[in-house]
Amino acid sequence: MSEELTDDEGRELDAAFFVRWLTAAAEAVDREADQLTELDSPIGDADHGGNMRRGFFAVRDALGSEPPGTPGAVLMLAGRTLVSTVGGASGPLYGTLLRRTGKALGDAGQVSEKELAGALRTGVDAVAQLAGASEGDKTMLDALLPAVGALSEGHGLAAASTAAERGAEATTPLQARKGRASYLGERSIGHQDPGATSSALLLAALAQTAALGVSGTEAENGTGAESGEAGRTANGGA
């Protein structure tokens, strides 16, 4: 146990943590669904909010009725559920993100933030490969890549959330090169990308869940103050 605690930042994330994250993500998606659809109206087909809400509600229900025992299994079930319920491109994209991240975590009962960072990198790379997209194409990768970049530099989940938020905002002046928005050419300029925005929401939910501590309530140990600060930062960014 003490060996695990000295692994990196000392925080070990278990299956229950990942269930709390995805439940928080479902709440965030539900809260922001109208905004996501509004962003998707000028450059997409105005279904991103509804699609994400349907998918993440299904994830929340699947995890609530039969929560798997490991972080990897939680993410793989969530990913599979998104693929089968979303109905738009975000289904296979977020489904691939969570499934590949989960697969990379293996069958460990607990994972460190460092291990999660590495697994998320694998998941994001798989999304890039599936979509054939890269940074600057005005897609969810413009939020996800800066986030995993911040994580792999050891800046932690709150910084990753901030990086995702800034990455999403930075899609506004870009011209879309992937997806339906790319048909609009220059007319896609001046709109924030809905996929990058929902990606930032998921990262914010992750940072906030981590800031709440191991038990899901306010952390009661010495790291509580630091985590609480991270939570406010993430809130402020979202």
Q: Which residues bind other proteins (CB under 8 A)?
A: 45, 47, 51, 80, 83-84, 87-93, 95-96, 99, 126, 130-131, 179-180
Distance in Å, CB of 51 to other proteins, minimum: 8
In the block, residue with structure tokens 């896609």: 188
183: part of which helix (H) or strand (E)?
none
Distance in Å, CB of 76 to other proteins, minimum: 10
Distance in Å, CB of 171 to other proteins, minimum: 18
DSSP characters for 15-45? HHHHHHHHHHHHHHHHHHHHHHHHHHHHHS-
For 122, half-sphere exposure in the C-beta direction (CA atoms, 13 angstrom radius) is 16
DSSP H stretches of helix in the chain: 2-5, 15-43, 48-65, 71-85, 90-105, 113-131, 141-152, 156-169, 194-211, 224-237
Contacts of 104 (CB under 8 A, 6+ apart): 72, 118, 119, 122, 123
DSSP characters for 156-170? HHHHHHHHHHHHHHT
Q: Which is nearer to other proteins, 58 or 214 (CB)?
A: 58
Distance in Å, CB of 89 to other proteins, minimum: 4
Distance in Å, CB of 85 to other proteins, minimum: 8
Q: Are 20 and 158 in contact (CB under 8 A)?
A: no
Report how far residue 132's alpha carbon sits from residue 139's, in angstroms, rounded to the nearest whole number.
11
Q: Which is nearer to other proteins, 153 or 183 (CB)?
A: 183
Q: Which is nearer to other proteins, 29 or 211 (CB)?
A: 29
Q: Which is nearer to other proteins, 96 or 199 (CB)?
A: 96
Distance in Å, CB of 88 to other proteins, minimum: 5
Q: Which is nearer to other proteins, 146 or 179 (CB)?
A: 179
Q: Which is nearer to other proteins, 51 or 192 (CB)?
A: 51
